[in-house]
Each structure stands twice: as structure tokens, then as C-alpha cells.
Structure 1
Amino acid sequence: MADRRQSLLNAALKLVEEGGLDAVTIAALTERSGMSNGSIYHHFGSRAGVFAQLYADSYARCVAAMLPALDSRPPGVAVRDLTLRYLDWVIANPNRARFLYAAPDHADPVAKQAEFAPVLAWFLDRMASGELCSIPPWALEPVAMGPAHESVRRFLLGVFDLDAARELVADAVWSVLSP
């Protein structure tokens, strides 16, 4: 059953890659995946359910790629590593990254917050100890990771060489958080 769900998500991701969010219709999913309408509704409930699960799956993979960076190394090393891992995940998974940036309204905020909780806890602990600049939790993603997000957006548009700028972007993120 998990294979069928993943197959449908893969078909949806491919459709997004080829034609954007509007290309993902139930009819297109049945044609692409070879599964019936009933299978799609059984597994996801609706088109919005497909998007919600694709968002959750992609976001979980992204966070999982970053988590190994959050260890006991000095914060500057860990923050730079987290940024590089994020950028490397985007480079390796541009379709999933493109979907995450294109479909934020399909995220379940509670699930997203739970997925991000270990990352946030690591940052809050180091902010409390003075190892990182103290910023409000809401600002961590848009403000601290802002250089990475803007670089990723440009990369996904095809106007920025993210691979060549990895170190510069990691330095920029660290400069925001450096005490």
C-alpha cells in the first residue's frame, strides 16, 4: 500500500515538474500512475490531499537531510553545515524543492512545526546559551535562512549557480546568527 501511495506522489511530482500545480488533476494522476480514481481518493481523499501529502513528504526529506548537521560542534561549523546540507538537498532534489516553494499553502502548519521542532530546539538552546545571536523563533527561517532561500529561489528559476555559491551562502547565514 505504501508503494501505491509513493507511486501516486511520484506521479504528482512529475506532473508538477512538467506543468506546474495546475497540471496535477485527478485525470492526469490516473493517466500518469495507471491507478484508478478510486485509488487516488482512497489514499488521499482529494487533489488537495495529494498536495498536502507531497508537501509533508518533501518537507520531511528536506529536514532529514539537515538534521545530521545539528550536533555538538561549534555553532558556526554546525550552522554552515546545516546550510550546505539544505543547499545540497535542493540541488539533488530540485523538483521537490520547487514544489515546496510553489505550494506553501498546502502545508499542514502543525505537522510542519512538529517536523521542524528538533531544528528549532537546537537553535533555541544555542541562542539561550549565547552561542548564537538571539532572534525570535519565527525569524529563524525567513531572516536567518533568508540568504539560502533567496539563492534557492534564483537557482530554481535557472538564473543562479547555487553549487558555485554554496560556501558564500553558508557564510551569509552564519553572519546573521553569529553572536
Structure 2
Amino acid sequence: MRYQVVRKKLDGKPPRRQRLARADRFRQLLDVAWRIIREEGTEALTLGRLAEKAGVTKPVVYDHFGSRSGLLAELYREYDARQNALMEAALKTSASSLAGRARVIASSYVECILLQGREIPGVIAALAGSPELEAIKREYQIGFIERCRAALLPFARTGSISSAGLWAIIGAAESLSHAAATGELTSVQARDELFEIIYAIVDRPPR
């Protein structure tokens, strides 16, 4: 019985903080941040809450991100990199046609949102909360637009795709993907509608 009491006390001690290399700690903090958003929502994500859930001190978290805005920016960068990798890999094996390219862009955009779950819509919404974060979002939107232009331009009926048309594509992609993520649309509905929009914009006849 005495052994059991001692054992219980030992088991009740808080776990020792694990020393990690800087890159490993950064990866751990991002993983915990995504989990907080998934389980508690974006509003719950503060640097203090992240430190608590990750089992580190606040200075460690501040050293990696500087501010909540810095943390949100890193989360969005990671999402954007994942989306780019998914789309580029799919484009390499897609049919060399407007239908093939449009289908890949639509599918990869929606799939990436769904893979990230409910977390990324909250992060994207939070980006609108400051000019700094809005600028980061716009930078990555422009990057996506240019990748779409490069993939689709060879199949444009007029030989060009207007900037307005490309912005319409990304606007539709964001709206439809978020609707799929929140269950208002199925993933098939979102992908099919986005495909139709992309195809119609690129295949628009000369005016």
C-alpha cells in the first residue's frame, strides 16, 4: 500500500519539459496551434494558450512568433505551401486540356481546404483583422492567381485571361471551399461548381 501511494504521487508530478531543437519546437508549436483552432476555435488561439497547451513558457512562444499576428501568418504560410504542393503535383499528371487543368485546380483547392478541416476558414477570417495580415493573404492570393494563369493560359480561347476573371476564380474557390468545409455544400458540389466557373472564364469567347 505504501508503494502504491508513493507511485501515485510520482505519477501525479507534472511532466518535465522536453528540450527540442529549434526547428522541432517550431513544428510542435504549429501542430498544437492547429489543434487549438480545431478544438476551441480561432479566437481561443493566443500565445499564452499555445504555451500552456504545448507545455512551454510564454517566452519560448514569443521567440518563435513574436505576436499572435506572426503566429497566424505562419499558419497561413503553411496552408498555402500545402495547397501549392498539392496543386503542382496534380498538374504534372493532369490531361493537357482546359478540362483537365480546370478539374485539377478545382479539386486541389477544395481538397486542401477539406484536409485542413474547420481550422483554415478561421485563420483566413482572422487575417482580415489587421492590414499586415491582409497584405500577407493578398500576396498569396496573387501567387495562386499567377499559377492559375500559367496553367490555363494555353487553353484560353482569346489567348489571354483577364485579371478580373482570375480574381473571380479565386473568390469562387474560397467561397465554395469554405461552404464545403462547413457542410453547406458537399465536396463534390463545391468541386463541380468551381470547375464550371474556371472553364467558363477561360473558354469565354472574344467580345
TM-score, scaled relative to structure 1: 0.79
Deviations 1:82-140 (A, max 9, x none): 1111112222221443244323333525852685376155157537x74766211x641
| Structure 2: stretches of 5+ with no match in the other structure | 1-21
Kindly tell me: are residues 165 and 153 of structure 1, through their superposed partners in 2, closer, same or farther at Cα, counting changes over 3 Å? closer
Structure 1 CA distance for aligned equivalents of residues 196 and 81 of structure 2: 25
Q: How many residue pairs are counted as aligned between the two chains?
A: 176
Deviation at 1:145, TM superposition (A): 3.6
Q: Give the equivalent residue in structure 2 for 1:119.
A: 147
Which of these residues, 111, 121, 130, is aligned with residue 98 of structure 1? 121
Bigger RCO of structures 1 and 2 (CA < 8 A, at least 6 apart)? 1
Give runs of aligned pairs for residues 1-179 of structure 1, distance below 5 A.
Answer: 1-71=22-92, 73-105=96-128, 106=133, 108=136, 112=140, 115-116=143-144, 119-120=147-148, 122-123=150-151, 125-126=153-154, 130=157, 134-136=161-163, 139-140=165-166, 142-163=167-188, 165-179=190-204
Percent of pairs with identical residues: 24
> Is the contact between residue 172 and residue 194 of structure 2 (CA under 8 Å) also seen in structure 1?
yes
Kindly tell me: are residues 118 and 35 of structure 1, through their superposed partners in 2, closer, same or farther at Cα, counting changes over 3 Å? farther
Structure 1 CA distance for aligned equivalents of residues 142 and 154 of structure 2: 19
Give secondary structure in 1 for the equivalent of 2:185. coil
> Is the contact between residue 25 and residue 47 of structure 1 (CA under 8 Å) also seen in structure 2?
yes
Deviations 1:133-176 (A, max 9, x none): 6211x641x40244432221222322221245533432332122
Kindly tell me: are residues 139 and 38 of structure 1, through their superposed partners in 2, closer, same or farther at Cα, counting changes over 3 Å? farther
Larger radius of gyration, structure 1 or 2? 2
**Structure 1 segments (4+ residues) deviating >6 Å:** none
TM-score, scaled relative to structure 2: 0.70
In the alignment, residue 101 of structure 2 is paired with which amino acid?
A: A
RMSD: 2.9
Structure 2 CA distance for aligned equivalents of residues 114 and 172 of structure 1: 18
Structure 1 CA distance for aligned equivalents of residues 43 and 56 of structure 2: 20
Q: Give the equivalent residue in structure 1 for 2:15.
A: none
Structure 1 CA distance for aligned equivalents of residues 179 and 141 of structure 2: 26
Structure 2 CA distance for aligned equivalents of residues 80 and 45 of structure 1: 40
Structure 2 CA distance for aligned equivalents of residues 114 and 143 of structure 1: 12
Kindly tell me: are residues 166 and 109 of structure 1, through their superposed partners in 2, closer, same or farther at Cα, counting changes over 3 Å? closer
